[in-house]
Amino acid sequence: MVKAFICGCADARLSSEELAFFSGEQPWGLILFARNCQEPQQITDLVAAFRQCVGRADAPVLIDQEGGRVQRLRAPHWPAYPSGAKIAAAYEADRAAGLLLARNIARLIADDLRALGITVDCLPILDVPQADVHDVIGDRAYGTSPEMIAEIGRAMAEGLIERGVLPVIKHIPGHGRAVVDSHHKLPIVSASKDDLRKTDFAPFVALADLPLAMTAHIVYPAYDADLPATQSPTVISEVIRGEMGFDGLLMTDDLSMKALAGDFADRAERSLQAGCDMVLHCNGDMDEMRKVADGVPALAGAAQRRAERGLACLAAPKGYDRAVALAGLDEVMAKSA
């Protein structure tokens, strides 16, 4: 019985306690962070140990490998990839070349991940940054216009898919106006419905056909004055599923972020009751993970269908000119050095 949650682990190897927990609770997937990533063989072994433990060779393994400051796999074993802002600068200089660069960077990242057994990357970032906001998004964004962000985001997502890795669009319905970091506080975005629709929502509408999305822990009083999107039935049903038309697997952002309140079983229950398909807990704290698991049911119904449909998008990698992609990466990184 697979359960509707994704969890982290504490270290570079699974402990006996974690192995017993994963085997018994059957999380849908595992997410890796820098603390879990030392060198290629170690990560390959960690991924294999998780899948063997849960008894599913296709159990998803996720990571945040965006480039720039959010890159869990780093030198000396993996290349440095440019931030979203650097890809945006290339696009502004030459739109076609910028889109090809974005697609090729995603292809290269996907190759890195597939070699380790990692099948899901939490990108593209579709948040539209505004002036005078917190820099939690900042240079992670693919520019400042919704159209540009949507175009680059599409190229990044398609580059991953072409090389056999699933993308996760984030942070739906939009994190670009937050004046505080949701890792530490609950942001409240007071923009009107019209302003949200024109800017923040637009890239998510454009990419609503993609298979996976991650929520924002943000309150949007124009729709729900009390609850963050992750736990708001109104935002999920009216905005994400309704206005945006997203019918893929909807996962929460990390439940351990301080934007959310309550114990961890309650956080999980409220998110799923609001309409999320899957909850995500990242920090590897075993006590917290046990409480999350207590608040999570078996993956079933529409959530299970969306999960299966998402995994069905994984396909054999399509070919591309890796040498050209590497040359383009070297050029953009040299310019920014």
Cα 280 from Cα 120, distance rounded (Å): 14
Q: What percent of the chain has a predicted confidence (pLDDT) above 70?
A: 100
Strand ranges across the sheet with 166-167: 166-167, 120-121, 61-63, 27-32, 3-7, 278-281, 249-254, 212-215, 169-172
Q: Which pLDDT value is given to residue 184?
A: 87
Bond before 129 cis per omega within 30 degrees: no
Residues 316/161, Cβ–Cβ less than 8 Å:
no
Tracing tokens 């396909």 back to the chain, one arrives at 315
Say if residue 134's pLDDT is above 90.
Answer: no
Residue 324 exposed, middle or buried by CB count within 10 Å (0-12, 13-18, 19+): exposed
Taking the C-alpha atoms of residue 153 and residue 171, their distance in angstroms, rounded to an integer, is 12
Which pLDDT band, with edges at 50, 70 and 90, does 316 fall under? very high
Average pLDDT over residues 133-140: 90
pLDDT of 165 over the 80 cut: yes
d(CA 32, CA 318): 25
If you average pLDDT over every residue of the chain, what do you get?
A: 97
- Model pLDDT for residues 224-235, shown as the tens digit of each residue: 999 999 999 999
List residues with catalytic annotation. Answer: 183, 253
- The pLDDT value recorded for residue 132 is 83
Q: Quick one: residue 284, left, alpha or beta (phi over 0 = left, psi -120 to 50 = alpha)?
A: left
Closest CA to 56 of 2, 12, 121, 115: 2
Distance from C-alpha of 177 to C-alpha of 141, rounded to nearest angstrom: 12
Residue 337 pLDDT more than 90?
Answer: no
pLDDT for 135 beyond 90: no
Q: What is the mean pLDDT of the segment spanning 245-257?
A: 97
Please name the residues in contact with 203: beta carbons below 8 A apart, sequence gap of 6 or more: 126, 128, 146, 149, 150, 153
User: Which CATH code is given to the segment(s) 3-336?
Assistant: 3.20.20.300
Give, to the nearest 10 degrees, the angle between helix 146-162 and helix 84-93: 110
> 203-228 pLDDT, tens per residue?
999 999 999 999 999 999 999 999 99
Q: Tell me: pLDDT of 152 over 90.
A: yes
Quote the pLDDT of residue 147. Answer: 98
- pLDDT at 300 (0 to 100): 98
CA separation (Å) from 334 to 135, 327, 331? Answer: 24, 10, 5
- pLDDT of 318 above 80: yes
- Short-list 139, 166, 167, CA closest to 153: 167
Which tens digit of pLDDT belongs to each residue from 9-65? 999 999 999 999 999 999 999 999 999 999 999 999 999 999 999 999 999 999 999
Overall average pLDDT of the 322-332 stretch: 95
Residue 131 is predicted with a pLDDT of 86
